[in-house]
Chains A and B, each alone.
Chain A
Amino acid sequence: MDLSQKLAILSDAARYDASCASSGTARRDSRDGKGLGSTEGSGICHAYAPDGRCISLLKILMTNFCIYDCAYCVNRVSSNVQRARFTVDEVVQLTIEFYRRNYIEGLFLSSGIIRSPDATMSDMVRIAQRLREVESFRGYIHLKTIPDAAPELIDQAGLYADRLSINVELPTDNGVKAYAPEKNPATIRKAMEDVKVRKEIASERSYKGKRGKRFAPAGQSTQMIVGADISTDATILQRSTRLYGDYKLRRVYYSAFSPIPDATAKLPLIKPPLAREHRLYQADWLLRFYGFDVGEITAARPDGNLDLDIDPKLAWALQNRGIFPVNVNTASKDMLLRVPGFGTRTVGRILSTRRHRHLRYEDLLRMGASLKKARAFITALGWTPGALTDSANLRACFAPPPKQLSLF
């Protein structure tokens, strides 16, 4: 099998991992002329596929042979997809040659589990080590760690990689038990805990004030599959809140369960719930950057799911109209962050401008606020929403028009 065929199989197998982030790691460059690559804070998306997803990293599996049998996974042992395996050298060469042509920011290496978790993990570490120590590669490396691998291997992985990740796979332990029988949720959590602790140790200074070697400077992340089991959005968001809190995760990714080749009868193929995935990301942002808590976001509907027709902040505001309208010239930052149509940037601009003068409706337009949403919830100089805030058909202004069900 030639390199091109292997690349086809092993990138095909890797596309169900949502993460392609290459941001937020330590700053590095190669100005000394002795290495290749740089990382400068913000990541770069070098291309976009027609699925709208950014291509920032060379995202491949080392091998798609796997001894596990996870129902949602294209690479499970019981699937008949074609199998392939890269050599260490092939992965290193592909990464370097793609990087030199400015196609990518670095490598995201994952793998099916072959022989044993330790054997798989040590092969992956060898690839990262070759890139760093032999090729002097200073770009981004993301390693998907194997939950059951030995702690020494994870230690090594964290020294070479910018980010480590372990997928929790499904939002509940029962879900994991049902669909990923060989995986153990407790082991996965233990592995995340270990990475967190290892990272904390690395950031401490010794009694001489020296810092240890940096350990996974871009932190750790995880992914949950959405729509494969029956978990509600409330369950999912509670889970991610715990993950952010307990393990200091940088990101939780939500991946809408999407059809795979040679699917199992255990998990019938559905249309991937992309709208739901999108709403979950919005809610995730509200939790992390807008001061909301899970209860508030998921209270809007009795079934514990997010409203698919309108965004979660708007849904919350419509439920809590008593607080609105807020005066943009006097309201607190926390309150401004809760206005639908205002992002963190808009709020920052409002705060800095209103130190100098009172804001009018048109001013907000120039600052980039989405007034189509915000107008019903704010007052400004020369603007009051009047009865709009409490009007019965306010939701209808935002939601897509109702569709008659098709008879066929």
Chain B
Amino acid sequence: MYTVPLPMIGTDMAWREAAKRLIGAGVSPPDVLWDYGNNMPELFATAAPLPAPTRRVKAPQSFVQMAETVVWHKDPQRFARLYALLWRLRHEQGLMQDRADPDLARLRQMEKGVQRCKHKMKAFVRFRDLRQGGDRRSFAAWFEPTHHTVEPTAPFFARRFADMDWMIATPDVTVQFVDGNLSFHPGQPKPDLPEDAAETLWGTYFCNIFNPARLKVQAMTSEMPKKYWKNLPEAQYIPGLIAGAEEKVQQMRDTAPTLPPERAKRIQERLRKQDPDAKN
């Protein structure tokens, strides 16, 4: 029996290294306990060190890629499920192409969940200006991801916001980007971030780009589920926009067509003079 401790930061590399050694030594899935973030009661913990790295272990590239994503899922069974599939892959060629295999299908579903969570994090993190002065501007955000996606998503923010310092705090992990260096730290409770006037402007934009004649609430919530709303500054306006939509459209319908403003005639005449080819 092996107990493999997995850290909350650097989970992917730790799992990969351990899985390589275990599969190399032929340790079967039931003989491995995966201990994420030191949660395992000591009762089960055995001090047996991992087998030494042996021969080169081969796994299909498609499995490695999938595992790199699935390790960030919140399901406590993820490591065991991945290892079980890796175990099967020793003898089942073509298993990775079998889109209907139940074990693989489950892992693919988890992979999709993590990808979606990463995507939503890229979309819904909202920075606030910390106004600290200095050469580089500083921003910070609070975010609550569904899975453990801070670490795999951080490089995206580093590629995008390279000329400023920023921090994304989450309950599990906090990521900082200072002077071009990315670092990960333990999570923290929601910090008090200073008010940012740009949020009001963003709210103005959100309210005005909305077309009340096309109300489709479900289409919105399926892509922007309510669980994200509490950290989105624009979400506070949604109930009001929905409630007032019908009345706004009715007003447009009820208003009788108005006469064109004075300048309209002048402008149109000038336009026609300029361009004799114009129709009419």
Contact = CB atoms under 8 A, between A and B. Distances in A.
Contact of B252 (A4, A55, A269, A350): A269
Contacts of A67: 267-268, 271
B122 interface: yes
Interface in B207-258: 207-220, 223-224, 232, 234, 238, 241-242, 245, 249, 252-253, 255, 257-258
Contacts of B137: 100
A62 to B, nearest CB: 15
Interface in A45-68: 45-55, 58-59, 67-68
Which of the four size classes fits the interface of chain B?
35 or more
Interface in B113-136: 119, 122-129
Interface in A66-117: 67-69, 77-80, 94, 97-98, 100-103, 116
Interface string A252-284: 000010111111110001011010000000000
Contact of B215 (A51, A98, A367): A51
A100 B161 contact: yes
Contacts of B264: 69, 77-78
Contacts of A177: 279
B208 A15 contact: yes
A355 B97 CA distance: 9
Interface in A1-39: 3-4, 7-9, 11-12, 14-16, 29-38
A353 interface: yes
A181 B280 contact: yes
A263 B257 contact: yes
Contacts of A3: 201
A44 B267 contact: no
Contacts of A16: 211
B98 A353 contact: yes
A344 to B, nearest CB: 14
A349 interface: yes
Contact of A77 (B102, B129, B204, B260): B260
Contacts of B34: none
B217 A50 contact: yes
B100 A50 contact: no
Given A15-B211, A269-B252, A182 B278 contact: yes
Which of the four size classes fits the interface of chain A?
35 or more
A80 B97 contact: no
Given A37-B160, A45-B123, A353-B100, A182 B208 contact: no
A366 B105 contact: yes
Given A50-B238, A54-B223, A67-B271, A59 B260 contact: no
B205 A7 contact: yes
A49 B163 contact: no
Nearest to A17: B209
Contacts, number: 219
Contacts of A79: 258, 260
A403 B41 CA distance: 62
A220 B259 CA distance: 37
A173 B278 CA distance: 15
Contact of A272 (B156, B214, B245): B214
B258 A8 contact: no
B127 A101 contact: yes
A188 interface: no
Contacts of B163: 30, 33-36, 136
A177 to B, nearest CB: 7
Contacts of B19: none
A259 B97 contact: no
Contacts of B255: 261-263
Nearest to A68: B271
A142 to B, nearest CB: 14
A260 B160 contact: no
A359 B214 CA distance: 42
Contacts of B224: 47-48
A51 B214 contact: yes
Contacts of A55: 206, 209
B167 interface: no
Given A16-B211, A33-B163, A7 B201 contact: yes
A351 to B, nearest CB: 10
Contact of A258 (B123, B125, B158, B214): B214
Interface string B267-280: 11001001000111
Given A50-B215, A258-B214, A352-B99, A98 B268 contact: no
Given A51-B220, A367-B99, 7 more contacts: A8-B207, A31-B159, A33-B163, A53-B219, A259-B249, A272-B214, A350-B99
7 contacts: A36-B163, A55-B206, A80-B261, A262-B258, A265-B257, A274-B214, A353-B100
Interface of A: 3-4, 7-9, 11-12, 14-16, 29-38, 40, 44-55, 58-59, 67-69, 77-80, 94, 97-98, 100-103, 116, 136, 177, 181-182, 184, 256, 258-265, 269, 271-272, 274, 349-350, 352-353, 355-357, 359-360, 362-364, 366-367
